[in-house]
Amino acid sequence: MCDLVYLQVTALCVYPELMKSPDFPEDTKEHARTILGGKCCGGGSLGAYSESVGVEVIRRHVAKYIEDRDGGIKCDYNNVILSGGASEAIKSVMELLNRPVDGKPVGVMVPIPQYPLYSATVAEFGMHQINYYLDEPRAWALDIPELARALEESRSTCIPRLLVVINPGNPTGSVLTRQNIEDIIKFAFENRLIIMADEVYQHNVYAADREFHSFKKVISEMGEPYNTMEMASFMSCSKGYMGECGLRGGYCELLNFDPKVKAMLFKMISAKLCSTVHGQAVMDCVVNPPKPGDPSYELYSQERDAVLSSLKERAALIAETFNSMEGFKCNQVQGAMYAFPQLELPEKAIEAAKAAGQAPDVFYAFQLLENTGICVVPGSGFGQRPGTYHFRTTILPQTPLLKEMLARMQEFHQTFIKKYQ
C-alpha cells in the first residue's frame, strides 16, 4: 500500500551504508539514525535484541502519537509495549488475565461476528467465550441490552473478566459512535470488566457521519469514576493505509493497570525476548511519519491520501453492488477493509449443502470459488445469528479488478439462485 517512505527508512536501518547515497531524502536518513542511535538499538543494528517491551525511542514515539491522536491526553511511554503485530499483544494480555477462580474459567465477551483470533485464543487458553451479537439492522451497532443478556447468561459457567470491542469492525466494516462507546464504557465499569479495544483500523473511516474515537480518549473525557478503569488498546502496521502485514509490527497501551500486574506482564513478555526489531522500526514509521516541510512529506501524504481515497470509493462500490443483487443485504462499509453481506439462500440450496455435509454459507462460498475463482470467507467462520448466512469479502482489490470481481459474483449469484429455486 503506502510504503515507499517506510521502505526507505527500514532499508537505511537494515543497511546503514545507504546513508551515503544521495537517492534517499535527508529526513529518512535522520529517521533511521534516530532508531539506530544512542542506546536504542544495540550495536546500531536491527539485528540485535531490543528491550523486551521494545526500543525505547519507538515507545516514546508511540506515546507521542497517542497524545496527538487524542488531543493532548497524556500517554506515558512506560505503558506502551511493542509487539509482533497486534495479535501478539492481544494474546499476551489475555494470557496475563487468564486466572480461573474456584475452578471457573475466565469469561471473555466477544462480538459476533468476530475476528477469529479471539475465539482461537479463548480455546487455546481454556477460557470461556461469551458471545454477544452485534445489531445488524442498526449498522452492526453494539447493543447494551444484548451485552447484559450475554453477561447474565454466562455467570453460572465462568468469571466474566474481559470485554473485546473491535472498532472499526472486522468483519463488519462498522464504526462505533461516540455515544455507543460511552455506553459500552459505563457497562464495563458497572460490571468490573476490562476493555480490550482492538483499534487496528483507526485510520480507515469512510462514512461521512462517522469518525474514529479511541476508547482511551472517551474514558479520559468521561472523567470520574470511569477514568480509573483498566483497559488495553491495540494498533498494528498491518492494517490502515500501510498494509505491512508480514513485517509484524504493533503496539499495546495499558491504561490504569496496577503496577504489580503490569510488571508481571512485562516479565511474561521477557520470556519471548522481544518482538522483531524490523517490525518495531516499521511501527515507528507509522506513528512518526514525515511532517509538513520534510523532504518526504509530499510523497508520503500523496500515497496515504490516494490509498484512503481509493478505499473509500471501493467501500461505497461494494455495498451498492451487493444491495442491487437479489437476496442480498449489505450495510454501508463505514470503515476497516471488509463487507459482510447477508444473503438469503433458497431452501433447495440449504438442502444441497446438508447433503454435501457443509454449512449453507460454506456451500455457497465453495460454489463461488469453484465457478469463478473468487474466494470469500463464510460467515460461520466469524459467527452469525442462527438462521442467517453471510460471507466476508475485502475491499482491497484495485477498483478495475474489484469491478470485475463483482460482475463475476453477480453472474454467479443469478445462476446459483436459478439453479436452486
| Better-scored residue on pLDDT, 15 or 2 | 15
Confidence band, pLDDT 50/70/90 cuts, at residue 3: low
pLDDT of residue 364: 94
Q: How far apart are CA 93 and CA 128, in angstroms?
A: 15
Structure confidence at residue 2 as a pLDDT band (50, 70, 90)? very low
Superfamily for the 318-420 domain: Aspartate Aminotransferase, domain 1 (3.90.1150.10)
Least confident of 129-133, 200-204, 299-303: 299-303
Q: Is the pLDDT of residue 13 over 90?
A: no
Looking at every residue in the chain, the average pLDDT score rounds to 90
Task: Check whether 372 has a pLDDT greater than 90.
Answer: yes
Query: Burial of 386 by CB count in 10 Å (0-12 exposed, 13-18 middle, 19+ buried)?
Result: exposed
Q: Residue 248 and residue 321: Cα distance in Å, rounded?
A: 34
- pTM of the model as a whole: 0.90
- Reported as a single tens digit per residue, the pLDDT across 175-231 is 999 999 999 999 999 999 999 999 999 999 999 999 999 999 999 999 999 999 999
Per residue in 160-184, pLDDT (tens digit) is: 999 999 999 999 999 999 999 999 9
pLDDT tens for residues 280-290? 888 898 898 89
The residues of the chain that CATH labels 3.40.640.10 are 49-287
Residue 162: CB partners within 8 Å, gap ≥ 6?
94, 97, 106, 107, 108, 109, 193, 194, 195, 196
| Start and end residues for every CATH 3.90.1150.10 domain found in the chain | 318-420
List strand residue ranges (DSSP E) for 149-285, in order: 159-166, 194-198, 231-236, 250-255
pLDDT exceeds 70 at position 42 = no
Say if CB 390 and CB 140 are below 8 A apart. Answer: no
C-alpha cell at 293: 516541510
Backbone angles phi, psi at 113, to 5 degrees: -75, 155
Residue 158: which residues within 8 A CB-CB, separation 6 or more?
104, 105, 106, 107, 127, 128, 130
Distance between CA atoms of 404 and 341, rounded to whole angstroms? 18
Q: Residue 251's beta-bridge partner residues?
A: 82, 235
d(CA 418, CA 363): 16
**What backbone phi and psi angles, to 5 degrees, belong to 42?**
-55, 125
Fold of 49-287: Aspartate Aminotransferase; domain 2 (3.40.640)
